[in-house]
Structure 1
Amino acid sequence: MIMKNLRNNASLLDNMLHKTPRKQDQAQCVLNKATLTVLTLLALVVAPNIVLAKPLSSDAATIAELTILSGGDRMPGLIYIAAGKGPHPTAVFLHGYPGNERSLDVAQAARAAGWNAVYFNYRGAWGAEGEFSFMNAEADVQSTLKYLSDPDNATRLRIDPKQLSLVGHSLGGHMSVAGMLDNENVRCAVAYDGVNIGAWAVSDTLWSDYSDTLFMLKDWSGAKSISEVDAHRAKFDLVPRLRSLGERHMLILAADTQVIPMEQHITPIVDTVRQQSPSQLEYHVIQDDHSFSSNRKAVTELTISFLNRRCLVK
């Protein structure tokens, strides 16, 4: 219809341009209208779609930056806040070594399921202040839990401090289990192909050489990693620490690789929990790489299901 009008206007314009001056004035008017029509059509074609969003309510889902203190040093973090006035159950996501896989896809899904999701970098990692170490990382988890449980922070961030859980990958898997065992207020731990630092054979050359490349971990080296694990192996070992599990629940996902050898790191933990509290463990072996790259949907679904079934206050 628009193109037909343009053709009619053009024909009328051609006739008018060959008649009297008054007719020429009319022709100019038609030309102006035709030009405006063409420009309008062009704007509709090339201009981006414009969506006028309604103002967000105070209870909308959102994101907030966090600065968490641990040992006097600042750690950067963020929280995905679930929709609704809350308070919401909250899961803290813990990165690995050095932390390339951060599981933020699972964190976003957790928020969509009604959970707040927190992520932070350990001291000395990825720009956080302070010095990186395994002992410091364990302490950083506790500092973060304390921060989230602070009444002012809990109110501001819509957190239910009675419903905190930990989710970690690789080194973060150790930090998740250790963080729960060291804090009676944590309801659940989820470990994705998690290590047991106390069982780590860190003295081999491959481990040391890899640790030397981790420039994103401040003041870190292969020699430091070997020294720390050797000095605190008994403290790091998760198996004897499982005595403090109580009635809490664990989800362990193991990747069928030798990046984290199951018989060394995972099987002893699984066997111990099954012996003392079999109903409190969910365990799955997934045929995939260390980061579960081909099974992110399955990892997400298993995690959200576990959190909702096992980790909420009844």
Structure 2
Amino acid sequence: MFNKSYVTKDVEQIDVNSEYFPDLVYAGLESHGSDLCGFVLKPQGKGPHPTAILLHGFPGYDDPIDLAHALRRCGMNVLRFHYRGCWGVKGTYSFKHCIEDVKSAIDYLTDEEVVKKFNIDIDNLFLVGHSMGGFLTLTHACDKRIKASVAISPYDFGLVGKIGHYDEKEREEAFEMFKTAIPPLNDTNAEALMQECIENGDKWNLPDKAKFLADERLLITVGTGDVVSKKSLHHDILASEIKKYNKGNLTEKFAATDHSYSNKRIWLAQTVAEFLDEVINEK
């Protein structure tokens, strides 16, 4: 059972010897031969529990663990992991591998044994991602196993690659950002990552997927002071394309904040919880 009221308060006392005590459990999630160092935050109670895959950004300096704990308090399982080739996970880092790893995570959570292990409510499986995690969330939002998706300031690597062919300013801004992300990544560099975006821009570009995204329940949050996932580039174009189909499935929320929601972490948790509560408990 999901209860949004716990997003900003502690749960009632539970016997520490109870099998339904909240816990943090190693997941054993693998993707293409690499252990992704995944773990599941298990909530209190018997379940079955709605479950979220919480995806961090590029390269993952900004860890949304506070959001993971907030959603767990509300009654969700939350799966966290690192992508191949970053933060000690074996393998080569690439955006293609990140996309593949999210599919591996969905496959993992829908495995019959894993469903039993974590008491997963298979009808309430969600993607929640920040920045690159938001891009990955929207890339996989049309997977029929996913009930709804939350993209927090998504950074569209496909759009950057597509316009990188002709917009030197945007390409250079992205390249400079890529250079700051290299230290925790394996076997790559800013040049290789930029080239990967340019080569895959047409395939990854989110506005080109708007027809299909319009059919999905989506929450997209935007920081109006964000200079990384700039609203005019990474939100407005996509939202405009989705709205052309008049499906009414897109929820947009705006806050006067930066890319990290530095002054709006509580607002962010409440906004995400309210959306999930609406989807989970809708009649």
TM-score where L is the length of structure 2: 0.86
Identify the residue that residue 197 of structure 2 maps to in structure 1. Answer: 229
Between 1:203-212 and 1:58-67, the stretch displaced more is 203-212
Verify: 1:177 aligned to 2:177, yes or no: no
CA distance in 2, matches of 1:264, 1:180: 20
CA distance in 1 between counterparts of 2:232 and 2:176 reads 23
Q: Which moved more, 1:81-90 or 1:290-299?
A: 81-90
**CA shift for structure 1 position 210:** 3.9
1:102 aligns with 2:69: no
Report deviation, 1:208.
Answer: 2.7
- Structure 2 counterpart SS, 1:79: strand
Contact 2:214 2:247 in 1 (8 A): no
> What pairs with 1:133-152 in structure 2 (closer than 5 Å)?
133-152=94-113
Q: Distance in 2 between matches of 1:299 and 1:238?
A: 23
The partner residue of 2:158 within 198, 202, 206 is 198
Query: What displacement does 1:74 show?
Result: 1.3
- In structure 2, which of residues 242, 246, 252 is the aligned counterpart of residue 273 of structure 1? 242
Q: 1:211 aligns with which of 178, 187, 191?
A: 178
Report the equivalent of 2:220.
252
How large is the RMSD of aligned CA atoms in angstroms? 1.9
TM-score (norm 1): 0.78
Unaligned runs of 5+ in 1: 1-52
Amino acid at match of 2:234: H
Judge conservation of contact 1:211–1:220 (CA < 8 Å) in 2. Answer: no
Residue in structure 1 matched with residue 126 of structure 2 by the alignment: 165
Which residue of the partner structure matches residue 64 of structure 1? 25
How many residue pairs are counted as aligned between the two chains?
261
SS of the residue corresponding to residue 69 of structure 2 reads: helix
Pick the structure with greater CA Rg.
Answer: 1
CA shift, 1:79, in A, is 0.8
| Aligned equivalents of 1:155, 1:81: Cα separation in 2 | 13
Indicate yes or no: 2:93 matched with 1:126: no
Aligned-partner SS, 1:282: strand
CA contact (8 A) 2:214 2:245 kept: no
SS of equivalent residue, structure 2 residue 29: strand
- Which residue identity lines up with residue 241 of structure 2 in the other structure? T
Same amino acid, percent of matched pairs:
27
Question: Counterpart of 2:277?
Answer: 308
Deviation at 1:222, TM superposition (A): 0.9
The one of the two structures with greater contact order (alpha-carbon pairs below 8 A, sep at least 6) is: 2
* Residue 289 of structure 1 pairs with residue 254 of structure 2: no
1:103-132 CA-to-partner distances (Å, cap 9, x unmatched) read 211111111111111111011111112111
Amino acid at match of 1:280: N
Provide the residue aligned with 2:7 in structure 1: none
Look up the SS of the partner of 2:197 in the other structure. Answer: helix
- Contiguous gaps of at least 5 residues in structure 2: 1-13
* Contact residue 208 and residue 221 of structure 1 kept, 8 A: no
Deviations along 1:211-239, one digit per CA (max 9) or x if unpaired, are 23422111121111111011111111112
